[in-house]
Amino acid sequence: MLRVPLLVRARDVWHEMAGVPITFPADGGVEIAVSAGSRLCPPGWIGIVGLGDAGIVTVPADSRAGTVRERLRVVPVKVLTDLDRLRAVLPVAEVLGPASLAYLDEDEFRPAGLGTVEVASGGHDDLAELLSAAPVNDADECGLADITSRAFVVRRGSRPVAAAGYRRWPGTAAHMCVLTLPNHRGRGLARAVASAAVADALHHRLLPQWRARPEPSRRVAQALGFRQLGVQLSIRVAA
């Protein structure tokens, strides 16, 4: 059976997220489309995703769409997520990202099991306790509150100190969500719970996706075998 390349599978995820027919150009360019329902970004924002040597951009369906499209057309794909370059052509008011996009091929998965860590399947009570104990920004950023998979948890005594899971995305993607309490970091717990969640996603024939901004999170993904294939950025332009 012919296997679909990892980059193709990753791009299929974002094709569906765009909300309109759009493709990553085969010649390595950028395709821009107006999409009121784009999930590349918050409503009313501009969503930018670069994967490999090509990119796609969705712009909101308002009176600025034409101007935004024309100005972004002059930005080369290699600097499409460079904020300084974007600010040179658009009045950028707010930014989310950039965040790296990494994906995992089953053959490249490197499971991480620590002998002193027991990863158990948890539920909503475990997640609620962990999220309430974490800093607010960490709890919001990790996405654990929205997972559709089981939660994989490490406990110290009866207390959950790390957890991971994933949310089903379009294109059979499993969007990974991981959180470790600050005073338990640096011990391999994030890698252990994430490894369990990745294994579960692969068992269900899903494509593990890891989106991250902090460098420690990227290192965890790399240790498990994820390959960084691109970048996502959302911007809001001033009126």
What's the mean pLDDT in 166-190? 91
Q: Find out whether 77 and 29 touch, Cβ atoms under 8 Å.
A: yes
**Whole-number pLDDT of residue 163:** 92
Query: Residue 165 belongs to a domain with what CATH number?
Result: 3.40.630.30
**In the predicted structure, residue 160 carries a pLDDT above the cut 60:** yes
The 10s digit of each residue's pLDDT in 75-120 is 888 888 889 989 988 999 999 989 999 999 999 999 986 655 567 6
- 197 with 114, same domain: the answer is yes
Which range of 34-48, 56-70, 77-91, 124-138 scores highest in mean pLDDT? It is 34-48
- 63 with 116, same domain: the answer is no
Both tokens assigned to 13: 């995820």
- 90 with 185, same domain: the answer is no
**Whole-number pLDDT of residue 117:** 59
- 18 with 132, same domain: the answer is no
**Whole-number pLDDT of residue 68:** 82
- 33 with 48, same domain: the answer is yes
The answer to whether position 1 is within a domain reads: no
**In the predicted structure, residue 206 carries a pLDDT above the cut 80:** yes
Give residue 4's pLDDT band: very low, low, confident or very high (50, 70, 90).
low
Owning domain of residue 73: 6-101+231-237
H/E element, 193: helix 189-203
The answer to whether position 191 is within a domain reads: yes
**Whole-number pLDDT of residue 45:** 93
**Whole-number pLDDT of residue 114:** 66
What's the farthest any 2 CA atoms get from each other in the chain?
A: 58
- 73 with 165, same domain: the answer is no
Q: For residues 114 and 123, what is the distance between their CA atoms, to the nearest angstrom?
A: 22
- 114 with 193, same domain: the answer is yes
- 142 with 212, same domain: the answer is yes
Euclidean distance between the first and the last CA atom of the chain, given in angstroms as a whole number: 51
Let me know the angle formed at the C-alpha of 72 by 233 and 30, rounded to the nearest 5 degrees: 75
DSSP 181: -
H/E element, 220: helix 215-224
**Whole-number pLDDT of residue 226:** 96
Q: For residues 57 and 30, what is the distance between their CA atoms, to the nearest angstrom?
A: 7
What average pLDDT is seen over the chain? Answer: 89
**How many separate helices (H) and strands (E) can be counted in the chain?**
7, 10
- 151 with 48, same domain: the answer is no
Omega before 160 within 30 of 0, i.e. cis: no
Q: Find out whether 67 and 205 touch, Cβ atoms under 8 Å.
A: no
**Whole-number pLDDT of residue 2:** 44
Q: For residues 218 and 229, what is the distance between their CA atoms, to the nearest angstrom?
A: 12
DSSP 39-52: SSSSTTSEEEEEET
